[in-house]
Amino acid sequence: MALWLREEDEWPGEATLVIHGGEGQVDYVLTAAIDHYDDYRELRDGVLGYFTVSVFATIHNVAEEAIVDHLVHGSYGVAAASAVNDAFKLLPTADDDPDLPPDIQWLQPVHFDVCLPDPPDERLKTTDPVDDPALTALCEAHLRPHLEELLSLFTRSRKK
């Protein structure tokens, strides 16, 4: 995975955020956030990573319907970007992995990561949570209420 921070010229202040339906389940999102923590170290400070949730924004004249058409799941969620940004940090990120499906590649210019608060544990500076079962359990317990709060901001919908 080759993650990078986009130099975003359009912030999603009044935009809508769209989340994959399959990724709207707390356990799925929790596992993904922990699994990908280490991938975000270079985007932060080289020491700590980010626990994130992937979303897409209706910016750059990309409508909600166009985003939904490119999602692989039959369901999705929508939230006001301002509500999410008031509660969590948003990062304009992209993944230039050539093995990404074409629909997901198409969405990279409107991709953002919602950053969840870090657990207060110094081991995160040197250890990937997936390599330490005790640290994984601590991260799961810490992140779950934040994920529930985040996901409660999204209204669930089905693709037509």
> What's the CA gap between 59 and 61, in Å, rounded?
5
As a whole number of angstroms, the distance between CA 145 and CA 70 comes to: 29
DSSP state of 23: G
In contact, 14 and 81? CB cutoff 8 Å: yes
Give the side-chain half-sphere CA count within 13 A for 157: 17
What pLDDT does residue 1 have? Answer: 56
Give the C-alpha separation, 44 to 121, whole Å: 17
* Residue corresponding to tokens 């590649």: 105
* 92 SS3 class: strand
* Tens digit of each residue's pLDDT, the chain (160 residues): 589 999 988 899 899 999 986 555 899 899 999 999 999 999 998 899 999 999 999 999 999 999 999 988 888 999 999 999 999 999 999 998 999 999 999 999 999 999 999 999 999 999 999 999 999 999 999 999 999 999 999 998 887 7
- Spatial distance between the Cα atoms of 135 and 129, rounded to a whole number of angstroms: 5
Question: Cα–Cα distance between 124 and 128 in angstroms, integer?
Answer: 7
Q: How many CB atoms lie within 10 A of CB 154?
A: 21
